[in-house]
Amino acid sequence: MNRTAHQAPQGRAPAPVLYFGHGAPPLADDPLWTGQLSSWSQGLGRPRAVLIVSAHWEAAPVTIGATTTVPLTYDFQGFPRRYYEVAYPAPGAPELAASVRGLLGGGPVPVAEAPERGLDHGAYVPLKEMYPRADVPVLQISMPTLDPRELFDLGRRLSPLRDEGVLIMGSGFLTHNLSRIDMKRGTDAAAPSWSAEFDDWAARAAESGDVDALLDWREKGPAAEIAHPRSEHLAPLFVALGAAQAGGETARTVIDGFWFGLAKRAFQFG
């Protein structure tokens, strides 16, 4: 794939692009992972705004979430009450929403709006650890498809936002098959072979810039159908790859390891 460099304002590099695992609500109880997310964000600095794509919002066409502060979307069941009392009143990002409309609105399908939809747990759970003051404007948009190449193109079209200081985040999980995980074994359980093998393959592909292999993950990735029986948690990576590819960046691993046997690897581009 051809790469063209960003034309950021002189003296300012484009904002990075991130892909990471977001955990479940109990992520907040894991001091290791929360500490890793916090340390990572301190090195990133404070972005002008965050644009986040989560595994937990699929809607076509691309849909823009609330541009004002509205209640969170507690899109999970069966957890203790305290997880439903978490608040994260991040400012809305109407200017960012306007930029997204401008970048995406030229296609055959218009951008939709969901003004009452608050951030879901794929967004607010990690953001609460990374920017705990909730003082960075946040905008969440939906994934209109799970097709890797269409999501890559979506990320590519959004990439100019980086030159405006917008931190583009893809929130998923590098391996995700809850039916193959024994949650009773604890957060530090050894990873099953299918999870470890797919994690290692994806890391090597991302760090070497083998985008084509990642987009063809079902054919190229080891134990792919076990690691992702459905691809919604891998899909945000394709958006991140598209947003990063315009600047020619390859990934570097910032967080690695496993959580209940699932790969919590996080990538930073740029």
- Name the residue ranges covered by the structural domains of the chain: 17-269
Cα–Cα dist 1/19, whole Å: 20
* Bridge partner list, 51: 139, 168
Residues 40-80 have pLDDT tens digits of 999 998 999 999 999 999 999 999 999 999 999 999 989 99
Under a CB-based contact definition with an 8 Å cutoff, are residues 76 and 25 in contact?
Answer: yes
Radius of gyration, alpha carbons of the chain: 17
Given a contact cutoff of 8 angstroms between Cβ atoms, the answer to whether 51 and 169 are in contact is yes
Residues 160, 103: contact at Cβ < 8 Å? Answer: yes
pLDDT in tens, 77-128: 899 999 999 999 999 999 999 999 999 986 656 899 999 999 999 999 999 9
pTM: 0.93
Per CATH, the homologous superfamily of domain 17-269 is LigB-like (3.40.830.10)
